[in-house]
Amino acid sequence: MAVNIPGPWEVVIYYTFSGLTHKQRLNCDLVTVGNIGDSFNDFTVLLRDTTDIDLDVAVQAWVDLIRARYNSNTTFQFAELYQVDQGTLERTYYSTYGLSDVGTGIGNDAPARQEAYTFRTQEGGLMRVVLVEAESPGEAIVAYPTGVTSINDIFSFLVGSTNWILARDSSYPIAARNFCPTQNEVVYRKRYRA
């Protein structure tokens, strides 16, 4: 099993809710690499089915998918691309992609909450994708499929052939496991004890 580190490339999506900015870090592999400072459409990202698409299209489609888990109080601001030095946590900045999207969900705000989506990967590892301060219903762990369309859509995309997001073992998720909503202690301290 591979070491669990970021990379080989990392997309960081910045979004805000009620005064706090959050970062979602997603691993990927690129087919076409632009130069530092080039726009996102100068980079193409590898899909699980071995085809590739422009990175700006991939990131925008992901944001469009996950924003159904946030209401209109959440704003997705921008994404950044970094190359990660192999076997390290060192990163080199490459590009920024502007976003101006708000959540489309109709649920209630969920301050200091998170929802984690868990998967088994091609390498046999575990993968978690976390959405911080999303609508996060309840506290119970629910196996996939969950009965909530917007949650199931995220699971389906991540195990599908057009997924571009890698686990930290550098392989794709292949089996959806559980939806795990809970409180995020770090965000709770920032929001209520700062």
Token readout for 105 is: 């969900």
Q: pLDDT tens digits, residue range 24-34?
A: 999 999 999 99
Phi, then psi, of 84 in degrees rounded to 5: -105, 130
Residue 2 lies in a domain: no
Instruction: Give the total number of structural domains in the chain.
Output: 1
pLDDT beyond 90 at 55: yes
CA distance 108 to 100: 21
Query: What pLDDT sits at residue 93?
Result: 98
Residue at 110: amino acid letter: A
* Farthest-apart Cα atoms in the chain, separation: 47
- Residue 1 placed within a domain: no
Does 4 map to a domain? no
Distance, in Å, from the CA atom of 120 to the CA atom of 1, rounded to the nearest integer, reads: 12
Question: Looking at the domain assignment, is residue 16 inside a domain?
Answer: yes
pLDDT at 136: 77
Residue 3 lies in a domain: no
Beta-ladder partners of 52: 46
The tokens for 104 are: 């489309």
- DSSP assignment, residue 149? H
- The chain-wide mean pLDDT, for the chain, equals 95
Range of the domain at 107: 9-192
Q: For the chain, how many helices (H) and strands (E)?
A: 3, 11
Q: Which of 56-60, 136-140, 169-173 has the lowest mean pLDDT?
A: 136-140
Lowest mean pLDDT among 65-74, 75-84, 98-107, 136-145: 136-145
Q: Within a 13 Å sphere around the CA of 81, how many CA atoms are in the beta-carbon half? A: 28
